[in-house]
């Protein structure tokens, strides 16, 4: 059991270590979240560790950390020196790792050619390198990539559990709810409901047990913000949940996390165990008279369980089906008791708000959307990765300045936000400041933060079909519009991509979409037609092309596409080598040909061509 004084001591010691005010000369961190590990960051870590051991280096601290945010550039090694300079080495392989260890850590020589600045150049249209401001502002990701998620002391070193101390010993539960309400924090899971209000409604239902649930069922394909927070800074979520428990008089919390994130589950469980050991969880939190227990419950691969009432049903051991609201979980949630459900990222903001105050938080972002938002930027973008920007940053700034623009110099076509519940935004929307209301007005939604960039090679009908296939599979089957309506929509989309649809089908598609939106039971069903509706609105021409001319302009829909090599071909043979069915032939440095009898229209050759000589008819 630790007391306030114990924590203060740990805090002082670890802050010194993290700022290299101890005997160490360098602090070396290796990004070892899921992305990093998939890129073999563990091997890199071992090499550096071994070199340190072999050479008997005594003044270097080596730590594994969570997501640094530059997923496309993994594995990443960062070196901090005593003057607080930070050197970020990217795409480190075994050879580079040895060099970094021997030259930088021993010789003090900075290896400029491996630094991030060489990888993340932002260029203008003529290819000239330009300086861009740093838009990123980290609140939820404050500690990600900086501390070792398995070391509770490092978290404490950076003001960890200080907000909890403040709440327990200096504030009443009402004051806590008040600060959160005044801060303007809104749910980061997609809906954007004011967090403070949620807490207030739940707190008002006094008497008996209440519950705090953290929704970590991040099922939205292409989104990995919550995973990054849980893998990189699990204590931030734990601290916030205890604070929430205190504010609404709940003594039991659950983190509902998807089983597809084994590393996040492992690290969170480890962090919870440590928190118990330190007396931050359990009976008498920090030797106060407030008790709080926390437990992990695993999801089992059902997207709909991200919906709060379905999530509650799942914890209760039922099929994860949503129910009608009201009653809202704030009055009747888990086991019929008042329950607060917040998303991981929402919780990750709470401790900072308590420490720095509602006004500080409100000053960041826009009037109606305070604070920042974490986005998982993916798809055809140069700098795929995790970023956190103030609300109100424009899409253009995110995609071009932070994201570095599109890969292979291709033209921007659309960006998808909000996953299967969201919609498509186009060139015309690029200057829209990102916040909840603006995105809804533009026919999409904030969602949990997935942002997928698409170029001219992506077919919008195909993308709509992709999301609908997802929803059809994930529909729980409880209400008819979602269960059957979405399936009928998918059938129409299949007709379109097979070149068998008529204009009537297009009309039916829109009618059906609007009906499903109006009549489905839960948010999953109500938002399922969004990808179809927004592509219909913004890329109607593309639908027409499929229906009238039986042609897919992007060359994605296989059944109506023929691939052809134009005279631009330089005969490099890259397409030939990449073709899985050996349908391409041609001599070196001469024009190649596709045998349409053999070709299966898989499109593998297209991105392989360095001169964009492969087109679809």
Partner 1 sequence: MEKLVITKEKELLLRKRIEEHKAKPGPLMPSLHDAQEIFGCIPLEVQKIISEELKISVSKINGVVTFYSRFSLEPKGKHVIGVCLGTACYVKGSQSILDEICNSLQIKVGETTKDGLFTVEATRCVGACGLAPVYTIDGKVYGHATVNSAHQELRKIIDEEAAGEN
Terminal CA-to-CA distance of the chain, rounded, Å? 70
**Considering the rule CB under 8 A, would residue 616 count as an interface residue with partner 1?**
no
Kindly report each contact of residues 35-39 with a partner whose C-beta sits within 8 Å and lies 24 or more positions away, as own/partner.
Answer: 35/67, 35/71, 35/74, 36/67, 36/68, 36/74, 36/75, 36/76, 37/263, 38/74, 39/74, 39/75
Residue 495's alpha-carbon distances to 363, 537, 560, in angstroms, are 50, 19, 11
| Distance in Å, CB of 201 to partner 1, minimum | 23
Question: In this structure, what DSSP letter does residue 87 have?
Answer: E
- Answer for which of 25, 138, 297, 574 binds partner 1 (CB under 8 A) is 297
| Distance in Å, CB of 578 to partner 1, minimum | 6
- Answer for which of 94, 109, 277, 318 binds partner 1 (CB under 8 A) is 318
**Considering the rule CB under 8 A, would residue 34 count as an interface residue with partner 1?**
yes
Query: What are the beta bridge partners of residue 297?
Result: 256
Rounded-to-integer distance, Cα 429 and Cα 442, Å: 7
Which among 64-72, 189-197, 200-208, 234-242 is the span making contact with partner 1, rule CB under 8 A?
Answer: 64-72
**Considering the rule CB under 8 A, would residue 395 count as an interface residue with partner 1?**
no
**Considering the rule CB under 8 A, would residue 232 count as an interface residue with partner 1?**
no
Which among 142-150, 190-198, 316-324, 484-492 is the span making contact with partner 1, rule CB under 8 A?
Answer: 316-324
Nearer to partner 1, 51 or 339 (CB): 339
The phi-psi region of residue 20 (left if phi > 0; otherwise alpha if psi is between -120 and 50; otherwise beta) is: left
**Considering the rule CB under 8 A, would residue 308 count as an interface residue with partner 1?**
no
| Distance in Å, CB of 354 to partner 1, minimum | 29
- For residue 259, give every residue at least 6 positions away whose Cβ sits within 8 Å of its Cβ, in sequence order, or none: 265, 298, 299, 300, 301
| Distance in Å, CB of 419 to partner 1, minimum | 7
Rounded-to-integer distance, Cα 521 and Cα 528, Å: 12
- Answer for which of 66, 75, 196, 222 binds partner 1 (CB under 8 A) is 222
**Considering the rule CB under 8 A, would residue 573 count as an interface residue with partner 1?**
no
Site for partner 1 in 493-552 (CB under 8 A): none
Rounded-to-integer distance, Cα 286 and Cα 277, Å: 11
- Answer for which of 145, 450, 525, 529 binds partner 1 (CB under 8 A) is 450
Nearer to partner 1, 109 or 316 (CB): 316
- Answer for which of 243, 424, 452, 516 binds partner 1 (CB under 8 A) is 452
Residue 226 burial by Cβ neighbours in a 10 Å radius (0-12, 13-18, 19+): buried
Query: What are the beta bridge partners of residue 389?
Result: 373
Among 580, 10, 605, which Cα is nearest to 286's?
10
Site for partner 1 in 114-143 (CB under 8 A): none
**Considering the rule CB under 8 A, would residue 189 count as an interface residue with partner 1?**
no
| Distance in Å, CB of 470 to partner 1, minimum | 8
Q: What is the dihedral of CA 285, 287, 291, 295, to 10 degrees?
A: 30
Query: Residues 441-454, buried b or exposed e (16+ Cβ, 10 A)?
Result: ebbbbbbbbbbbbb
**Considering the rule CB under 8 A, would residue 584 count as an interface residue with partner 1?**
no
- Answer for which of 12, 94, 316, 437 binds partner 1 (CB under 8 A) is 316
Which among 180-188, 233-241, 359-367, 458-466 is the span making contact with partner 1, rule CB under 8 A?
Answer: 458-466
Nearer to partner 1, 29 or 463 (CB): 463
**Considering the rule CB under 8 A, would residue 615 count as an interface residue with partner 1?**
no
**Considering the rule CB under 8 A, would residue 26 count as an interface residue with partner 1?**
no
| Distance in Å, CB of 78 to partner 1, minimum | 17
**Considering the rule CB under 8 A, would residue 300 count as an interface residue with partner 1?**
yes
CB 444 within 8 A of CB 422: yes
> Radius of gyration of the chain from Cα atoms?
26
Rounded-to-integer distance, Cα 84 and Cα 77, Å: 16
- Answer for which of 458, 497, 530, 616 binds partner 1 (CB under 8 A) is 458
| Distance in Å, CB of 609 to partner 1, minimum | 14
- Answer for which of 244, 476, 493, 501 binds partner 1 (CB under 8 A) is 476
**Considering the rule CB under 8 A, would residue 423 count as an interface residue with partner 1?**
no
**Considering the rule CB under 8 A, would residue 216 count as an interface residue with partner 1?**
no
> Per-residue x/- mask for partner 1, residues 585 to 614, rule CB under 8 A?
-----------------xxx--x-------
Which among 46-54, 272-280, 298-306, 430-438 is the span making contact with partner 1, rule CB under 8 A?
Answer: 298-306
Nearer to partner 1, 153 or 345 (CB): 345
| Distance in Å, CB of 20 to partner 1, minimum | 29
CB 560 within 8 A of CB 497: yes
CB 595 within 8 A of CB 583: yes
CB 241 within 8 A of CB 294: yes
Rounded-to-integer distance, Cα 41 and Cα 29, Å: 11
**Considering the rule CB under 8 A, would residue 339 count as an interface residue with partner 1?**
no
HSE value, Cβ hemisphere, 13 Å, CA-based, for 174: 2
**Considering the rule CB under 8 A, would residue 375 count as an interface residue with partner 1?**
no
Nearer to partner 1, 10 or 37 (CB): 37
- Answer for which of 179, 241, 463, 512 binds partner 1 (CB under 8 A) is 463
| Distance in Å, CB of 610 to partner 1, minimum | 15
User: Could you give phi then psi for residue 254, rounded to 5 degrees?
Assistant: -130, 140
Rounded-to-integer distance, Cα 309 and Cα 320, Å: 8
Rounded-to-integer distance, Cα 243 and Cα 350, Å: 8
- Answer for which of 2, 198, 227, 517 binds partner 1 (CB under 8 A) is 227
- Number of residues in contact with partner 1, rule: CB under 8 A? 60
User: Could you give phi then psi for residue 160, rounded to 5 degrees?
Assistant: -65, 140
Q: Enumerate binding residues for partner 1 (CB under 8 A).
A: 34-35, 37-39, 70-72, 74, 218-224, 227, 259-262, 295, 297-303, 314-320, 335, 376, 378-380, 384-385, 416, 419, 450, 452, 454, 458, 463, 466-467, 476, 577-578, 580, 602-604, 607
């Amino acid at each position: 059991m630790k007391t306030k004084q114990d924590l203060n001591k740990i805090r002082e010691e670890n802050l010194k270590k993290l700022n290299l005010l101890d005997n160490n000369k360098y602090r070396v961190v290796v990004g070892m979240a899921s992305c990093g590990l998939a890129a073999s960051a563990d091997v890199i870590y071992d090499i550096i560790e071994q070199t340190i051991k072999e050479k008997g280096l005594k003044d270097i601290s080596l730590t594994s950390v969570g997501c640094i945010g530059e997923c496309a550039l993994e594995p990443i090694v960062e070196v901090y020196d005593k003057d607080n300079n930070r050197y970020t080495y990217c795409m480190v392989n075994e050879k580079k790792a040895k060099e970094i260890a021997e030259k930088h850590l021993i010789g003090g020589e900075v290896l400029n050619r491996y630094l991030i600045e060489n990888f993340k150049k932002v260029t203008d249209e003529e290819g000239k390198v330009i300086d861009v401001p740093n838009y990123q502002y980290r609140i939820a990701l404050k500690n990600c990539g900086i501390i070792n998620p398995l070391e509770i002391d490092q978290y404490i070193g950076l003001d960890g559990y200080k907000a909890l101390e403040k709440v327990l010993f200096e504030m009443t539960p009402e004051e806590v709810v008040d600060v959160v309400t005044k801060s303007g924090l809104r749910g980061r899971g997609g809906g954007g409901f004011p967090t403070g209000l949620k807490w207030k409604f739940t707190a008002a239902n006094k008497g008996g047990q209440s519950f705090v649930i953290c929704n970590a069922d991040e099922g939205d394909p292409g989104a990995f913000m919550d995973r990054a927070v849980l893998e990189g800074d699990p204590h931030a979520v734990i601290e916030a949940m205890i604070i929430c428990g205190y504010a609404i008089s709940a003594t039991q919390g659950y983190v509902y996390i998807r089983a597809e994130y084994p590393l996040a589950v492992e690290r969170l469980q480890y962090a919870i165990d440590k928190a118990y050991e330190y007396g931050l969880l359990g009976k008498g939190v920090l030797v106060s008279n407030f008790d709080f227990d926390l437990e992990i419950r695993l999801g089992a691969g059902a997207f709909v369980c991200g919906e709060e009432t379905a999530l509650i049903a799942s914890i209760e051991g039922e099929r994860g089906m949503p129910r009608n609201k009201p009653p809202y979980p704030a009055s009747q949630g888990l086991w019929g008791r008042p329950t607060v459900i917040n998303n991981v990222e929402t919780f990750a903001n709470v401790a900072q708000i308590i420490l720095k105050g509602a006004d500080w938080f409100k000053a960041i972002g826009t009037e109606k959307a305070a604070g920042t938002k974490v986005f998982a930027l993916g798809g055809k973008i140069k700098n795929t990765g995790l970023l956190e920007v103030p609300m109100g940053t424009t899409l253009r700034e995110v995609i071009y300045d932070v994201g570095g623009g599109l890969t292979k110099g291709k033209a921007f076509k659309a960006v998808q936000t909000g996953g299967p519940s969201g919609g498509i935004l186009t060139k015309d929307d690029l200057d829209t400041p990102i916040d909840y209301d603006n995105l809804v007005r533009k026919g999409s939604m904030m969602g949990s933060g997935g942002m997928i960039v698409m170029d001219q090679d992506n077919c919008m009908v195909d993308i709509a079909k992709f999301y609908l296939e997802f929803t059809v599979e994930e529909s729980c089957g409880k209400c008819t519009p979602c269960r059957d309506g979405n399936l009928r929509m998918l059938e129409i989309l299949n007709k379109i991509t097979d070149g068998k649809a008529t204009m009537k089908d297009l009309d039916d598609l829109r009618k059906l979409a609007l009906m499903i939106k109006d009549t489905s039971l839960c948010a999953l069903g109500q938002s399922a037609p969004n990808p179809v509706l927004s592509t219909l609105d913004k890329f109607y021409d593309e639908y027409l092309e499929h229906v009238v001319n039986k042609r897919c302009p992007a060359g994605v829909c296989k059944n109506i596409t023929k691939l052809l090599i134009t005279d631009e071909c330089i005969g490099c043979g890259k397409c030939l080598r990449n073709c899985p069915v050996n349908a391409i032939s041609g001599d070196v440095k001469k024009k190649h040909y596709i045998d349409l009898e053999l070709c299966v229209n898989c499109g593998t050759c297209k991105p392989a061509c360095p001169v964009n000589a492969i087109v679809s008819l």
